[in-house]
Amino acid sequence: MMRAFLVYLSQAAWARKLVTRFRFARQTARRFVAGETIEDAFRAVTDLNAIGMLATLDLLGEHTNDANAAAEATRRIADLIDKLAASELKSNVSIKLTQIGLKLDEALCEKNLKGLLQHAAQHGIFVRIDMEESACVEATLRIYHRMREAGFENVGVVLQSYLYRSQSDAMDLLQQGTHIRLVKGAYMEPPDRAFPKKTDADDSFDHISDLMLHESTNSQSSHNGHVAWPPIAAIGTHDSARIEFAKKHASEIELPKEKVEFQMLYGIRRDLQAQLVSEGYPVRVYVPFGTEWYPYFMRRLAERPANLWFFISNLVRK
């Protein structure tokens, strides 16, 4: 119930207007967001690299509602890619397609993405396409396939284990050597599209991670210059049981550790991130930054009720 309400609030314009007016909300969001500027984000990545972790940078923004705003977001992501290329940071970039026009016009979104991939490819930078609500999945995968047909190798996608379709999407994508980040899924989905029970989404997660790890036994490890590319299998979760499952299975099939990348969100389970690094696994932290933090922040509150009490106690103390 609470989760559904918070996910609803994450998309409600009135709630965004209300919450973002308060300085304490911005301060609380800083637990999950590296800051508002590229400089803030680069400082966070520098700190992560110093302790042996990789990063993926996300310029926050989604559901852009006019073509000019989509063009501006595309320009700003291109600028991020330029600055990343000029740095020594070990990071790639994550993008939401609704930020660059998916909900306005698929052709426009495709054109914007193509420009960004060309730009990133010139610098050897990998781009991950995040997965948004289920209404976007078909178009997102369609665009991904068109990018591969156009010859881009520096691109991967995200699959959400709570969707019934994801197991079959995984088999299809793995046949084409797709770099997949597997996550549970952060949106509210109807029972005809997604497992209503968390335990079923967890079982689906293990099943898809199993498929990804198997496929990885045949893949070449791809590292490109100073920017580490992710392997085929990126396991995106903070759930110790899912992580243990993947580790155990990878070890059973004698998959080298560098072929299993664990990915986590900035500010969440830093202890577990550090533990995995000490065990020799690649760990990549998703580092969001920018002024459009509201929906991202609300999804993080929705994932864990304790975060909400942290937020409310901050509010009460003000």
CA distance linking residue 161 with residue 185, whole number of Å: 7
Nearer to ligand FDA, 82 or 303 (CB): 303
In the block, tokens 């893949």 appear at 219
Binding of ligand FDA by 300 (CB under 6 A): yes
Binding of ligand FDA by 53 (CB under 6 A): no
Q: Which of these is catalytic: 181, 242, 284, 300? A: 181
Q: Residue 36, SS3?
A: coil
Q: Residue 123, SS3?
A: coil
Binding of ligand FDA by 194 (CB under 6 A): no
Considering only residues 25, 137, 264, 287, which one is a binding residue for ligand FDA as defined by CB under 6 A?
264
CB neighbour list of residue 54: distance below 8 Å, 6 or more residues apart: 48, 90, 91, 92, 228, 261, 282, 283, 284, 285
Q: Which of these is catalytic: 58, 130, 169, 202? A: 130
Binding of ligand FDA by 178 (CB under 6 A): no
Binding of ligand FDA by 307 (CB under 6 A): yes
Binding of ligand FDA by 158 (CB under 6 A): yes
Binding of ligand FDA by 40 (CB under 6 A): no
Annotation marks residue 239 as catalytic: no
Question: CB 192: neighbour CB atoms within 10 A?
Answer: 8
Report which residue type is found at 184. K
CB of 300 to ligand FDA, least distance (A): 4
The interface with ligand FDA within residues 99-118 (CB under 6 A) comprises none
> Of 47-55, 62-70, 114-122, 185-193, which segment contacts ligand FDA by CB under 6 A?
185-193
Tell me, by CB under 6 A, how many residues bind ligand FDA: 23
Considering only residues 186, 213, 283, 298, which one is a binding residue for ligand FDA as defined by CB under 6 A?
186
CA distances from 306 to 3, 179, 242, 303 (A): 12, 33, 21, 9
Dihedral Cα 233, 255, 209, 57, nearest 10 deg: -30
Phi, psi of 145 (to 5 degrees): -60, -40
Catalytic positions: 130, 181
Which residues are near ligand FDA by CB under 6 A?
Answer: 130-131, 158, 160, 183-187, 236-239, 263-265, 268-269, 286, 300, 303-304, 307
